[in-house]
């Protein structure tokens, strides 16, 4: 309750549209490496149709980004979405409708894949396997402290989408388990992300009428605190999602379907804002 009141009362600067990566299409899942030299973003048509991962680069962190271009392994037969770069910029986790090994062609649900950056470019995507993926949808993968966090619609959750985690092992990942604590509810939760120091987490939670608000929770001695929605100045659109912390943990980058002149209603743009 106290956290909610503090967040609601906090006076912060208004969110800023990230123009270089916000287009008339649906833009979301902005992610960079720690050096701020490589950036990835997802772009799709309405309702997340025909999603693609775009990549931009720059020589120095204060240079302008190059124009985002489809990643090398893009294929118009499948949707690739929800990209997340490891801080060293060498591994990309994402979701895709491309057929997993041993599965039938044309199955439309999203599974989690990854690609390695080599001297020759991004490697062919590799499926993370049945320890992580399920017959339901998987969304929003991120790796923190050798633990993969992601959302899934599998039956073992509490309802809708829930946050799961899977520990990294020398041979891949351990079997995924439901994240304990107050994060998961009978509503949908997704896009779980951790602050670099691991002491705070953000994610979106669904609301009435197909809405979604970004929530924040803090790590305590007893576990995660009760999540509280960020202020309305940040949750300023009907659907606010794909949050990420800045490297110093003092700001947020996220996507929102806030109405904008010249853009079709319901499509998202990418914003940045300081945190209370």
pTM exceeds cut of 0.75? yes
**CATH 3.30.365.10 is held by the domain 2-274:** no
Query: 47 Cβ partners below 8 Å, 6+ apart?
Result: none
Model confidence band, residue 273 (pLDDT cutoffs 50, 70, 90): very high
Average pLDDT over residues 195-218: 97
The pLDDT tens digits for 216-243 are 999 999 999 999 999 999 999 999 999 9
Q: What is the DSSP string of 11-47?
A: --PPPEE-GGG--SSEEEEEEE-TTS-EEEEEEESGG
Model confidence band, residue 62 (pLDDT cutoffs 50, 70, 90): confident
- Segments making up each domain of the chain, as ranges: 2-274
Model confidence band, residue 9 (pLDDT cutoffs 50, 70, 90): very low
Mean pLDDT (the chain) is 93
Q: Are 179 and 149 in contact (CB under 8 A)?
A: yes
> Rounded CA gap, 41 and 19, in Å?
13
Model confidence band, residue 106 (pLDDT cutoffs 50, 70, 90): low
């Amino acid at each position: 309750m106290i956290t909610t009141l503090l967040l609601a009362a906090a006076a912060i600067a208004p969110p800023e549209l990230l123009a270089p990566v916000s287009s008339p299409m649906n833009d979301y899942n902005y992610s960079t490496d720690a050096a701020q030299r490589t950036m990835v973003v997802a772009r799709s048509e309405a309702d997340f149709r025909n999603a693609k991962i775009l990549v931009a680069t720059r020589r120095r962190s204060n240079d302008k980004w190059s124009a985002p271009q489809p990643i090398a392994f893009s294929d118009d037969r499948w949707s690739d979405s929800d990209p997340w770069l490891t801080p060293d910029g060498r591994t990309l986790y994402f979701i895709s409708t491309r057929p997993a090994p041993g599965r039938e062609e044309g199955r439309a649900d999203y599974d989690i894949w990854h690609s390695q950056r080599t001297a020759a470019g991004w490697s062919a995507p590799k499926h993370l396997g049945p320890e992580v993926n399920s017959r339901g949808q998987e969304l929003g993968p991120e790796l923190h402290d050798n633990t993969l966090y992601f959302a899934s619609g599998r039956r073992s959750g509490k309802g809708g989408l829930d946050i799961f985690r899977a520990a990294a092992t020398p041979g891949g990942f351990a079997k995924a388990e439901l994240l304990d604590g107050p994060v998961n509810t009978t509503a949908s939760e997704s896009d779980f992300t951790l602050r670099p120091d691991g002491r705070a987490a953000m994610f979106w939670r669904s609301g009435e009428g197909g809405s979604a608000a970004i929530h924040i929770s803090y790590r305590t001695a007893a576990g995660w605190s009760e999540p509280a929605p960020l202020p309305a100045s940040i949750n300023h659109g009907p659907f606010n999602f794909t949050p990420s912390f800045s490297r110093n943990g003092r700001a947020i980058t996220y996507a929102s379907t806030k109405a904008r002149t010249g853009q079709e209603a319901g499509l998202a743009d990418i914003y940045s804002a300081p945190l209370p």
